[in-house]
Amino acid sequence: MKILHTADWHIGKKLHKHDLYADFDLFIKWLCTCISTNKVDVLLVSGDIFDLANPSSEARKQYYKALMQLRKLDCVIILTGGNHDSPAMLDAPKEILRELEMHVIGGLPPNLEDCIVPLKRNGKTEVVIAAIPFLRDSDLRNATEGSTYEDRLEAIRKGILNTFREAAEICKKNYPGVPALAMGHLFAAGSETSDSERDIQIGNQAAFNALQFGSYFKYIALGHIHKPQRISAAVPVFYSGSPIPLSFSERKDEKRLLLLDTKNGWIPANIPVPAFRKLLKISGTIEELRLKLSSLEEPFELDSLIEVELKENLYNARKIFELDELISNFHAAGYEIVKHRATFLQQIKGATELYKNSQPLEDLTPKDIFSQLIEKQKYDVETQEELKAAFNELLQEVHQSENA
């Protein structure tokens, strides 16, 4: 039996207010081809189907459209909820989806046996999946289990451990001798995160030790961490990672899916996900930025998104103006600048620091303070006078508005 592991689709995600709907559509189109080519029997999606608990109508439309595209491939689909998902929203249509061989477990059900999905072939159960969704605080601890911060963390860790142990016992009892796999959506100790992952369970400090998964499950398919990686444990424990980059910190990740073939063992093969767009982070002086932005490579299928950071040694208002002008005048087919900022290695001192050991600020006029700040910079006399004149005009406008 061939089982494909993915996670963290984050349908509806925006990157610096830029919609990633097109990225997800292209991913699903590629995924369908991948499933067909590799003759995949089962698709596991380990949580964070949506980016928001209350997704937009467009995001929901994409979700159901994707399920229908996948359903045409005669592939069993098992989806679990993540910390971004609303359990109630995911669970609402599960009875209908189950008739289409799509098993959705949005939140932890009262009866853990409802998370156990047997996979049959020719009437015989070949593999059983313990599809465990994201475990919330309310699933894991009672109100009476300690009131201190450390008590709460320990109760959460213990709750995760007990849930997986109980799932293993159910599989062992109801399906003796049948290989069992588990799905989970959690933060495992030792995993590497990216900027797009939000804290879970008290700021990720309730990290679960993967060694505590034990040795019963043949493979554990995890979601939540977007960087693909293997976690040290007694059995193969893998994060598939997100299939598309969800932040600029993921721009160098090699996105992948994981394919298990139960005939060959329990170590998955990597299937690289093609890049549909590029995320670029460009930094340097204003001259270096001009050069880099004028020598971009051939564009991808979708517009590549760029973060620009100006890095200069000394603060210079003219450089900020030049940066803004560079961004405004940037036009390159297949590229879009979505964020820019300026960083100065030797930051200008604030007014409070300048006058810390001399006059109180309340005894000085705004013009006095601005003059002192300007004199601390290495501007020529002409530039200083231009800046002071501009400041005076702004100050006059403020006074006029106050007196109006």
pLDDT, tens only, 250-259: 998 999 999 9
Does the structure show a pLDDT above 90 at 362?
no
At residue 292, does pLDDT exceed 80? yes
Contact indicator for 71, 102 with CB cutoff of 8 Å: yes
* pTM of the full structure: 0.81
**Domain with 284 in it:** 279-403
- Burial class from Cβ neighbours inside 10 Å (0-12, 13-18, 19+) for residue 87 reads buried
Q: Please identify, among 245, 272, 299, the residue that sits at the C-terminal boundary of a domain.
A: 272
Shared domain for 146 and 251, answered yes or no, is yes
196 and 50 in a single domain? The answer is yes
pLDDT tier, 107 (very low <50, low <70, confident <90, very high otherwise): very high
What's the mean per-residue pLDDT of the chain? 87
Same domain, 137 and 245: yes
User: Total domain count for the chain?
Assistant: 2
| Model confidence pLDDT, tens digit, residues 27-59 | 999 999 999 999 999 999 999 999 999 999 999
- Residue owning tokens 């996105």: 255
- Identify the band that residue 128 occupies on the pLDDT scale cut at 50, 70 and 90: very high
pLDDT at 77 over 50: yes
Same domain, 318 and 256: no
Question: Does residue 37 sit in the same domain as residue 116?
Answer: yes
* pLDDT above 90 (res 108): yes
Cα gap 213→80, rounded to integer Å = 18
Q: Which range has highest mean pLDDT (124-128, 360-364, 385-389)?
A: 124-128
- Kindly tell me the sign of the dihedral angle through the C-alpha atoms of 139, 81, 274, 20: negative
Report CA-CA distances (Å) from 194 to 31, 169, 199: 24, 34, 11
- Of 44, 26, 394, the closest CA to residue 238 belongs to 44
Percent of the chain with pLDDT over 70: 88
Domain boundary among 272, 291, 308: 272
Assign 400 a pLDDT band (cuts: 50, 70, 90): low
Separation between Cα atoms, residue 129 and residue 118, nearest integer Å: 6
Domain boundary among 221, 245, 272: 272
pLDDT at residue 147 in the model: 63
Mean pLDDT of 288-305: 92
CATH of the domain at 24: 3.60.21.10
More confident: 373 or 235: 235
Query: Which pLDDT belongs to residue 200?
Result: 44
Same domain, 245 and 305: no
